[in-house]
Structure 1
Amino acid sequence: MHAARLPSLFRRLAGAVRRPATAAPLGSLRSQLLRWLIVPLVALVAINAVSLYRDALDAADMAYDRSLLASTRALAERVSVHDGKVVADVPYVALDSFETDTLGRIYYRVGGLHGETVSGYDDLPPVPKNVPRSELYPALVRFYHADYNGEPLRIAALLQPVYDDSMRGIALIQVGETLDARRALSRRILLNTLLRQALLVLAVATLVWFAVRLVLQPLMRLKQVVENRAVSDLSDVDASLVHREVRPLVAAMNGTMARMQSLIASQRRFIGDASHQLRTPLTVLKTQAELALREDDPAALRAIVRSMAATTDSTVHLANRLLTLARLEHGNGGADNRPVSLAALAQQVGLELALPAVQKNIDLALEAEDEERTTVQGQELLLHELLTNLADNAIRYTPPGGSVLLRVRRVADGVLLEVQDSGPGIDEAEYDKVFMPFYRAQAALEINPGGTGLGLAIVRDIAGLHGARLAMQRADSGRGLKVCVLFAATPVIAPADELVLH
């Protein structure tokens, strides 16, 4: 037996594709981009502003400390020893300049060798014990903060060697200034820093807004192209309209529209075929009804009614086949796969079709292995429909006195279902055509002109839905037809519309 593999009708994604959870609608892309760019930028600018402000304060403090040290040194140069005592020769003009400036007050004190006050403010706060010597200047100077008369001061304390021929020692010169000037400079630095950073953020925000607007222009053009399309226009969208990062989205849109085109074409073809197939029996039924209305002979009327009943049965059968085919082409049958025993299913179908087989004196036989060995994953209703169609076709096209065999067995590749009959068979040239909807083989037309031509199309779609391999060949006896359906041990969903038959 030669059987070609069916690639799938429906590719079950086995959990890979899941329905997305309900989420709030997304807002403006422009707003989101601006938020993600501006908010982190503002945070970074704020951190940078704090860093700049601290650096500026350190630089200002260093400048003021250097000026304070210069004042302290200038005062130290006027300290000397006379007659064994430390004296400070500070003129009144210098005292005025030390005591006040334009932005605050300056205080000083000159201490003797034994800590006594030689000149200046004797109650100026002393040097705390834990203040280290400054390493920034080549002098024995310490800087510290203290409160004096309710005002905060920055004080420089310089140890100045003094000596004469009679003695040597160290004098302490302290110069303190209020923090008004420093605070004013700090406020000015802070305001300048904040103003510059705010202007920087505003400039960046403006540039980002224009950049985002410019970058989104291709998406706006794509939106206009899609909106201006006719309802029936499902042609591909030009991917060159957008940036490279958005082209996968356009490709997905094009793929979706291609599938929609295929679906619409399939629906149109199905509607056309269905209307064509239904038109004839309905016309016949209408004609029969009109004849019945004009007929007065009861026997003839009963014959017309029986004919109408047969036509109605045929039309209902055709409609059911059409609905089954439509459901298979556009869905998966509405059920989940579960273990199904083909042996048990074949036995059930055999019992259901036993009466038509007996009426035609056909030997309907079943050869099946254990149910456990013939179990496959599938949808029981659809597999029942597949078996029914194959067995019904075999019985329908087998002449009286013939035989129909249903065989189910385990093979190396999976579970094999075979349905063979002793009818006229089908020409090999038609093997690849009989599974098309509404196509009927020449031998079938001769035996049953009123068939629908949908049974094998339904078999093809159900087999494809279950990832089964389908083949058609002559029966073992050399006369008749054998249809083989091989279900893989591990089903792989493959498209039935790409069937290749041998």
Structure 2
Amino acid sequence: MTPLASRITARLAGRFGPSAPRGSLRNQLLRWLLVPLIVLVAVNAISAYDNGLETADVAYDRALLASTRALAERVSVKAGKVVADVPYVALDSYETDTLGRIYYKVTGIEGETVSGFADLPPVPANVPRSDAYPALVRFYHANYNGEPLRIAALLQPVYDDSMRGIALIQVGETLDARRGLTRKILFDTLQRQGMLLLAVATLVWFAVRLVLAPLMQLKREVERRDVHDLSDVDAALVHREVRPLVGAMNSTMSRMQDLIASQRRFIADASHQLRTPLTVLKTQAQLALRENDPTAMRAIVASIATTTDATVHLANRLLTLARVEHGGEVAALTRVALAEVVRQVALELALPAVQKQLDLSLDVDGAPQVDGQALLLHEMISNLLDNAIRYTPAGGRVALRVRATPSGALLEIEDSGAGIASAERDKVFLPFYRSSSTMAEHQDGSGLGLAIVRDIAVLHGAAIALDHGAGGVGLKISIAFPLPTAAPAGENDKT
């Protein structure tokens, strides 16, 4: 593409592209309706003006031919010579009829000037005979003494007993009358077209205003709403073509309602969950202030430290859940080696597994990769593995399996703990919900781990499923990731 074409393309894209400023819809409609209309009216005015000029020329040429014929009737042959009997009274009547000055010339059979103005311009050789009249007449324009003329040249047969031939009668008139009629035609045409344009522009303005009235009503309806009113807007207020926009607005407001409701639930649940450990901390602190026995005070301080750790853990889980639920951690997805993330989490949590004498194993098949956020995947796998270690009895087993599949990647975490009853498997992904089996063994959980897992899986387009472990014992959690898309440049294998 040439530099000029590139500049034109860039200018058009800036003016009409998706990012171009839109301005006023009413003004754009008026411009797109009135500008073509003005062009069409101008073209029509020019066409009407040309037709008027052609009609005027026909009318004046007919009058000019009548004068030429009247003059030709006065040409005769006398004594072997062509003569023209043209009194001044006749010339005056010609000028009165044509409303202009008349010049004439009668040329005899031999080309001699019989009467009139001898220097009147001759007939050009390329002027065709007029087909509009049966007479042998030609019309042409010429300048005479610096003044434009319209001249009719008529061939008139003349004869008597002694001779026979063709005389040429030329009658020219000035263009004053034609120019006056031309100006009148132009003025009348512009006046009519201008009035028509003004009438149409007025109708278009009112029509555009009337058509856009429902949009203005919709605008006023939205502006009058209370800040907390997120109910649907009535799509019947606007035209059928605008209803998809209203539908999109209603869908957006519905999502906002869901988001606000989710935030309110989260704030209520978080405040409820934090109130208990904070109350315990306050009670423990008051007991420590009243205690004088160093040994007892030391025990209370140790209990405060344990409660603080649990509270910090709960707060961190709450912050993680809030960021994941409301998109605070969502960024551009990169290519992540899933096995490396799983291996790193297994190393980090190997010590708690060893302390409980658990058989912790990792099985990797292939080199599964996913498009995702390495930090969020790490958080998800940490929650799953931490729960498996926490709720598996001492001497049990925890198995991590990662493999590549034809449809993507599969992560499985299986333990030999108490498991989760089938009736509760859908509920355990709700924030702060804890299954009966986990409540029986551990009272200090927050009920947020699987909720965080679910939200991170959804962000990555993964499907999560719960099932019994091997032999119907324990719990197996399977997370199926979709196939990765084309890897972004420089983003491969990030962990």
TM-score by length of 1: 0.90
- Of 307-316 and 293-302, more deviation after overlay is shown by 293-302
Identify which of 392, 395, 402 aligns with 1:398.
392
| Amino acid paired to 1:483 | I
- In the TM superposition, residue 144 of structure 1 has moved relative to its aligned partner by 1.0
1:389-425: CA deviations, max 9, x gaps? Answer: 1110011011112221112223444322111111111
User: What secondary structure, in the 3-state scheme, does the structure 1 residue paired with 2:471 have?
Assistant: coil
- Residue 32 of structure 1 deviates from its aligned partner by 1.9
Q: Secondary structure at the match of 2:470?
A: coil
Q: Is the 8 A contact 1:409 1:417 kept in 2?
A: yes
- 2:200 corresponds to: 204
Contact kept? 1:98, 1:107, Cα under 8 Å: no
Report how far residue 477 of structure 1 moved: 3.4
Q: Please give the alpha-carbon distance, in whole angstroms, between the structure 2 residues aligned to 1:244 and 1:236.
A: 17
Residue 158 (structure 1) aligned to one of 126, 134, 154: 154
| CA distance in structure 2 between the aligned counterparts of 1:177 and 1:404, rounded to whole angstroms | 117
Alignment partner, residue 236 of structure 1: 232
Of the candidates 94, 102, 106, which is equivalent to residue 102 of structure 2?
Answer: 106
Number of the residue aligned with 2:138: 142
| Deviation for aligned residue 1:247 | 0.8
Q: Which amino acid is 1:395 matched to?
A: I
Cα distance 1:214–1:413, how it changes in 2: closer, same or farther (>3 A)? closer
- Structure 1 contact 414–488 (Cα < 8 Å) conserved: yes
Question: Counterpart in 1 of 2:458?
Answer: 464
CA deviation string 1:433-452 (max 9, x = no partner) = 11111100011111110100
1:104 deviation in Å? 2.5
Which AA in structure 2 matches 1:467?
A: G
SS of alignment partner, residue 215 of structure 1: helix
> What secondary structure sits across from 2:103 in the alignment?
strand
Does the C-alpha gap of structure 1 residues 388 and 164 become closer, same or farther in structure 2, counting only changes over 3 Å? Answer: same
1:154-200: CA deviations, max 9, x gaps? 11010101111111100000111011000011111111111111111
Residue 90 (structure 1) aligned with residue 86 (structure 2)? yes
> How many angstroms apart in 1 are the aligned matches of 2:109 and 2:477?
123
Quickly say closer, same or farther: Cα 1:36–1:411, change in 2 above 3 A: closer
Q: 1:340 aligns to what SS in structure 2?
A: strand
Higher helix proportion (structure 1 or 2): 2
Partner Cα distance (1:474, 1:448) in 2: 20
Question: Percent of aligned pairs with the same residue?
Answer: 71
SS in 1 for 2:353: helix
CA distance in structure 2 between the partners assigned to 1:22 and 1:172 by the alignment:
73
For the 8 Å contact 1:99–1:107, the answer to whether it is kept is no
Please name the residue that 2:126 is paired with. 130
Measure, in 1, the Cα distance between the counterparts of 2:147 and 2:407.
98
Candidates 460, 476, 479, aligned match of 1:485: 479
Give yes or no for contact 1:364–1:404 (8 Å, CA) kept in 2: yes
Equivalent of 2:65 in 42, 63, 69: 69
Counterpart check, 1:432 vs 2:426: yes
* SS of residue paired to 1:434: helix
**Is 2:443 aligned against 1:449?**
yes
Aligned to 1:422: 416
User: Which residue of the partner structure matches residue 494 of structure 1?
Assistant: none
2:472 match: secondary structure: coil
TM-score when normalising by structure 2: 0.91
**Which of 56, 59, 62 matches 2:55?**
59
**Residue in structure 2 matched with residue 78 of structure 1 by the alignment:** 74
In the alignment, is the contact (CA less than 8 A) between 1:157 and 1:173 conserved in 2?
yes
Structure 2: which 5+ residue stretches go unaligned?
Answer: 1-16, 486-495
Which structure 2 residues correspond to residues 9-88 of structure 1 after superposition, within 5 A?
23=19, 25-88=21-84
Aligned 8 A contact 1:285 1:312 in 2: yes
Structure 1 Cα separation of the partners of residues 482 and 94 of structure 2: 104
Partner of 1:361: 357
1:287 to 1:332, Cα distance in 2 relative to 1, 3 A: closer
Counterpart CA distance in 2 for 1:59 and 1:318 is: 96
Q: Distance in 1 between matches of 2:138 and 2:183?
A: 26
Letter in 1 for 2:450: L
